[in-house]
Structure 1
Amino acid sequence: MRILELLLVLSCISLLVNVWFRMKISRNIRIATICFSLGIFVCQLIFEGYRWQMVFLYFLTFLLMIISFLRLKIKVRFIRVCCHFFAVLLIAVSIFLSLSFPVFNLPEVQGPYKVGTQTFHFIDEKRVDPFSESEDGKRELIVQVWYPAENVNKRKRQYLIPQDKEILQKYKKAFAESLGVPSFMLDYWKYIKSNAYEDARLIDTKTSLPVVLISHGGGTSRVLHTTQAENLASNGFIAIAIDHPYFTAATAFPDGTVTGFKAKDALTDFFGTSKKYGEVWMADLQFVLDNLEKINNGAIRSKFEGKLDLNNIGMMGHSFGGATAFNAVATNERIKAGINMDGTLYNMDSIPSSTKPFMFIQPEEFIVQKEEIEKNQVTNTSNMTEEEWNELMNYKRKEFEVINQSLASRGVMISIKGTKHYNFTDFQLFSNLLSLIGYTGSIDGKRGTEILNKYVVDFFSIHLQGIDGRLIYKQNANYPEVRFHSIEE
């Protein structure tokens, strides 16, 4: 809980005590308690801001101030006890909701540099967007860059979600629809701050900096990979996250337009749509790489002219973005190394084998599934027909075969104990309750974020910066949750 929220809880308890022992408390103490509670109530709303998790506490505080001021009395003791019990229950509920859906700032970066960020809007005039409402609507991308920065003292840290009121409302509505919750439940997201400073000065460096591209999963957003991008930037990388419009929960454009998630058939028919949508994502990636060359040679004016080391480009992604990273590393000569975070591979027959460094980061359940399928120890307990089940098993065996080919070359695969699919995004920081509905695993969100970022930075430090790594070659006692996996497993 935030400081003023905690003080509001204490003031509410003091009011409750005041009402219960009203005959034993002097008038001066009673008035002082009311004034203190009123001051905290107003200050919390002004300086920290309203959020729905505290609504019961707001109501109770206001009610108790009135009762205490008027010295109202409930004569029947049983009713009085029930009212006080109900008040305590409301306080407890507010505390529970506040802790379960906390206002938080993203974990501090682990590297030596401060972080700056800048967002670009690119329009591909050569490509029609398949989701555009206009027949000739061009494909537009929002690309956010994080970089090592200096002289940030007079700047304010950027909020995670855009603060423009209209865009913020559209963001909340789009994400709420994706999550299946009322939009008001996401009101508090507007208070979350990142570690990056908008348009801060790039560090003074005579050498160019290695680049890491980040691709989100279907139905999420680049903003859910902010901690990964910030930590890469704080360690001397240029991290570039691509929003793939209509595949995100929400993407905001400079004109105020916010697109939602239109590729919903990808969730229900992965086998039938993955190749088609994969081609769109790969084209997005190619377009971004072309624009990075323009930025680096000054054709697109920015602070990054001559500062992008395009001979050392890596790519990472989550879910569909992770599978896209695998395909991009295998097929694009400009990309040197990559990471797939729990992404089911697609278009495997068209992807050549690669000897480039690649790391798979998986949840525990993936490893269990892989071992069971490879040993023919899994049975159909779903509602699939025998034909559908056999198709799925053949697909998974093909995927594992491709993964094993990568591991036999320069690949690495690790799993992190207690993780599930969304533990590889910042979503794991938003609420511990997400583990109850299966979105995340049992690992603490901050711990999961720390481990993930450590191994991501270590991998790219080795393959893009030429720095000796400490983590991805063998087990480390500081991270017992991490397990390495070989082909034989």
Structure 2
Amino acid sequence: MIVLSRTRGTVDIGLITGVLAMAALGILAYLFPTTKIPDPGGEYEVGLQVIELNDETRFDPFSDTEMTRRLVIDIWYPADETAGKRRSPWFRSHRLFVNSLADNYDLPPILFQFLRAVKTNSFINAVPSEDAKNLPVVILSPGTPAIVPLYFSFAEYMASRGFVVIGVEHPYGAAVVEFSDGTQFHFDRERVMDLPGVETFEDGVRLSMQLMAEDLSFVIDWLARLNQSDHELAGIFDTSRLVTFGHSGGGGVVHFASLNDPRIMALLSFDPALFVMSNEEIDRGIKIPSLIMETDQWKYREESGRISDMIEASPVWPFHMRIPEAKHPDFAMLDHLSPLAHYLGFTGLFMKDGGESYLYRVIYSFLEYVFGNQSRTEFYSALLQREDVAVFEGSAEILR
């Protein structure tokens, strides 16, 4: 038997191994955190219901078989009592969503396995707050091919402050949409070429965005019917205070929807994709209050379209923010997935430097201003909290 003793000048292999193991665990804990999504900080707890809808008036042109257009919607709302209710996981179908994210971002699925341990602040089927009557509604259309859960943090922020947020899971627009019967719809970029009458990729994208804009109008119709029912959520929606919010492709969707649905009172978009809108649509501009947030990266990309031209043509001047040190995917919580998102070039520095909470405050302040609960001065104050963000009303910069 050989016995290794600790003497001067010798190396303790066990100690080194232990130190290396601890360092490795520390690195893994940093790169793959398993805490919960940050507390939204509002007055209310947050409830969440996931509901499946079927629009029997429309056939789904994406489907391989003749079927009507089906949707999944995620509804966040203010709640008071959450005892006995289970926190929602970040991703309902963990393996399915993880594989889809990995495929669409060209990353190995193992990088996302820790997400099954991440907790949210939303309680499944919590009873709505006693105050949850006739609340303003934000309908969210995610980026393409993002998924609604990547906007959890924003939804919880708004719901904890007295809003209802409805995330629309668009089949074939989201990375994946799964229904309770096991049916799944997966994103395929080239699938738009199979739509009826399509000759170019741009034609297909345009038809796809118009289809998803119709999804939003269908959801608004459904909300009006729900308010007249005996459903637990009946009466919490004020459809006269209804706003749409979209990111990237979803930004294009909400702009299309606002052109054709007069029930949309205000418009929010983050790096909207307007490249398939016609000259006539761009020249119509925006006729309702709007807030357009644009990263430095986005304004140089072809998909951005003619945001400045639309702003110039708008009868109601949009508020327009130009955000430095941010990247197009930043609004989709990629920094919450892992610091690797930044190191791999997916995200910028802005969101890590307090930018996320700043944008949420600005959006909240904008809506409160639109609904008459904040003065113009108060909204300006929220907009101008960061000196590195250029802020415009129409084409005129708001000076500090």
Q: TM-score, normalised to structure 1's length?
A: 0.72
Which shifted more, 173-182 or 464-473? 464-473
* Alignment partner of 1:159 out of 76, 85, 89: 89
Asked if 1:133 is matched to 2:64, the reply is: yes
* Alignment partner of 1:96 out of 5, 14, 27: 27
Q: 1:291/1:271 Cα in 2 relative to 1: closer, same or farther (>3 Å)? A: same
Amino acid aligned to 2:311 = I
Match of 1:403 in 2: 311
Match of 1:389 in 2: none
Query: Radius of gyration: which is bigger?
Result: 1
Structure 2: gaps (5+ residues): 194-199
Aligned pairs (5 A) from 1:38-437: 73=4, 80=11, 85=16, 88-134=19-65, 136-162=66-92, 167-205=93-131, 207-264=133-190, 271-298=202-229, 301-345=230-274, 346-351=276-281, 352-366=284-298, 369=300, 398-406=306-314, 409-437=316-344
**Contact 2:112–2:337 (8 Å) recurs in 1:** no
Q: How much has 1:101 moved relative to structure 2?
A: 2.1
Match of 1:29 in 2: none
CA distance in 2, matches of 1:175, 1:433: 14
Structure 1: gaps (5+ residues): 1-69, 371-391
**Contact 1:171–1:258 (8 Å) recurs in 2:** no
Q: How much has 1:315 moved relative to structure 2?
A: 0.7
CA distance in 1, matches of 2:132, 2:148: 30
Amino acid aligned to 1:314 = V
**Contact 1:274–1:347 (8 Å) recurs in 2:** no
Amino acid aligned to 1:253 = F
Q: How much has 1:78 moved relative to structure 2?
A: 9.3
CA distance in 2, matches of 1:77, 1:132: 74
CA distance in 1, matches of 2:134, 2:150: 27
Match of 2:369 in 1: 462
Q: 2:297 aligns to what SS in structure 1?
A: helix
**Contact 2:37–2:153 (8 Å) recurs in 1:** yes
CA distance in 1, matches of 2:87, 2:178: 20
CA distance in 2, matches of 1:112, 1:336: 25
**Contact 1:475–1:484 (8 Å) recurs in 2:** no
Q: How much has 1:468 moved relative to structure 2?
A: 3.2
CA distance in 1, matches of 2:286, 2:228: 29
Which shifted more, 77-86 or 353-362? 77-86
Q: How much has 1:440 moved relative to structure 2?
A: 0.7
Q: How many residues align?
A: 387
Indicate the RMSD between aligned Cα atoms, in angstroms: 3.0
Q: How much has 1:415 moved relative to structure 2?
A: 2.7
Q: 1:202 aligns to what SS in structure 2?
A: coil
Q: 2:97 aligns to what SS in structure 1?
A: helix
CA distance in 1, matches of 2:382, 2:133: 33
CA distance in 2, matches of 1:324, 1:424: 16
Q: 1:475/1:228 Cα in 2 relative to 1: closer, same or farther (>3 Å)? A: closer
CA distance in 2, matches of 1:246, 1:459: 31
Q: How much has 1:322 moved relative to structure 2?
A: 1.3
Match of 2:197 in 1: none
CA distance in 2, matches of 1:78, 1:451: 55
**Contact 1:311–1:334 (8 Å) recurs in 2:** yes
CA distance in 2, matches of 1:102, 1:240: 27
Amino acid aligned to 2:207 = K
Q: How much has 1:277 moved relative to structure 2?
A: 0.9
**Contact 1:359–1:412 (8 Å) recurs in 2:** yes
Amino acid aligned to 1:252 = E
CA distance in 2, matches of 1:225, 1:332: 24
User: Can you list the C-alpha shifts for 1:282-308, whole angstroms capped at 9, x where unaligned?
Assistant: 12112111111111111xx42222331
CA distance in 1, matches of 2:304, 2:333: 27
CA distance in 2, matches of 1:148, 1:349: 41
CA distance in 1, matches of 2:8, 2:67: 71
Q: How much has 1:481 moved relative to structure 2?
A: 4.2
Q: 1:465/1:305 Cα in 2 relative to 1: closer, same or farther (>3 Å)? A: farther
CA distance in 2, matches of 1:78, 1:409: 78
Q: How much has 1:488 moved relative to structure 2?
A: 5.4
User: Can you list the C-alpha shifts for 1:16-60, whole angstroms capped at 9, x where unaligned?
Assistant: xxxxxxxxxxxxxxxxxxxxxxxxxxxxxxxxxxxxxxxxxxxxx
Q: How much has 1:471 moved relative to structure 2?
A: 5.7
Q: 1:466 aligns to what SS in structure 2?
A: coil
Q: 1:121/1:197 Cα in 2 relative to 1: closer, same or farther (>3 Å)? A: same
Q: 2:390 aligns to what SS in structure 1?
A: strand
**Contact 1:123–1:138 (8 Å) recurs in 2:** yes
User: Can you list the C-alpha shifts for 1:265-289, whole angstroms capped at 9, x where unaligned?
Assistant: 679x863432111121112112111
CA distance in 1, matches of 2:377, 2:114: 38
Amino acid aligned to 2:28 = L
